[in-house]
Amino acid sequence: MSLGLAAFLLIITIIQKSVHFTRTAYYCSTSSMLLLLILPLGVAIVEEYKIWKIRKMDLVGGDPPQPLKIFTQKPNQKNSATLPLAEQTIQEKVSCWRSIFKPPNRGEDYTILQGIFSIDMLILFLSTAFGHGGTVAVVNNLGQIGTSLGYPAHSITTFASLISIWIYLGKVVIGVSSEFIITKLKFPRPLMLASIHLLSCIGHLLIAFNVPNGLYVASIIIGFCLGANSPLLFTIVSELFGLKYYSTLYNIGGMASPIGSYLLSVKITGHLYDKEAKKQMAALGLARKPGEELNCNGTVCFKLSFIIIIAVTIFGALVSLILVFRTRKFYRSDIYKKFKEEARTAETEIGMTQKVGPSDQAREG
């Protein structure tokens, strides 16, 4: 349904720019969009109704047996419940700080400190900051880029309208295809991340050298790559560092994107744009008034900025290759083995529980 909505918005946006829309056409397109937005609510209602029916049948047929709770304890292992509270607290603090640089195997649950000080996290952080920051810089400066390169105002509006759809499609396509590739072909996910970084360089090149109508293609490529980065980054974090502290660790990894965007968008692209704009004003014999916005025209406004962004993005892709080398054995193995074993264990316990009646459980209790 979300793909259908994205396709509908894409088609309507393109048609609006080429055909004059009447009031009736706007009413029809808006009504259709609202219908597509409401349809997922219908899915939720149907699913809730199915769950309600299942619960009702369980109540009519009697309460289902409760699962047995089996407690196991390793031999020669002290039960922490018998330790005084102060001693437990000291043990936890000591073990937490002592294990910072002794992380578990990849795929196991890292602590927050183990994840932060992990070399894999540092590599992933640098790769995202340098590789992902350039695509965000394009989106942030898309209006100025279009104006300086001489694109008409309605085309720039179209870029801005459509780039969100390309971002969405990047998330969906890479999110789905990467699962198929990694399970069937054992293709490392960090290598996909490096490939996305290199693909975005094509869009940067089209902008840097002002290829005729290149901004149309560049907006598609960069929007797609910007969307594709997110599912890859967050999935890699979950696969390498586990799920126990995932919400914290993926936010730490996600911090790289705004940092890279600030450096490439503000400190490099913005600074060089203003510098060229001042040169053009000086060549025309004009003086900048206090608070006046600078305007730069021509390929020169962003050429050097995007050459730097291309170099930085390639560096980000090379950093990703280091992570590919470090995790090659991990991704060749069955990375979902732990979850499959947990699922089989849960099914076995449920099967054993169902064989034991409520009266038997009461006698065992």
Instruction: Domain ranges for the chain, please list them.
Output: 1-38, 112-341
The beta strands (E) that lie in the chain are given as none
Rounded CA gap, 292 and 286, in Å? Answer: 12
Neighbour tally for 154: CB within 10 Å: 10
The token duo for 255 is 């911090």
Output 133 or 90, whichever has higher pLDDT: 133
Give the mean model confidence (pLDDT) for residues 138-152. Answer: 88
The class (CATH top level) of 112-341 is mainly alpha
Task: Express as a percent the part of the chain with pLDDT over 90.
Answer: 21
pLDDT for the residue 81: 45
Rounded CA gap, 129 and 137, in Å? Answer: 11
> Which position has the token pair 């060089």?
272
> Could you give the 3-state DSSP secondary structure of residue 317?
helix
Give per-residue pLDDT as tens, 237-265: 988 998 888 888 888 888 888 898 899 98
Radius of gyration for the alpha carbons in the chain, expressed in angstroms and rounded: 28
| pLDDT over 50 at 143, yes or no | yes
Q: Are 17 and 160 in contact (CB under 8 A)?
A: no
pLDDT for the residue 350: 58
| pLDDT over 90 at 97, yes or no | no
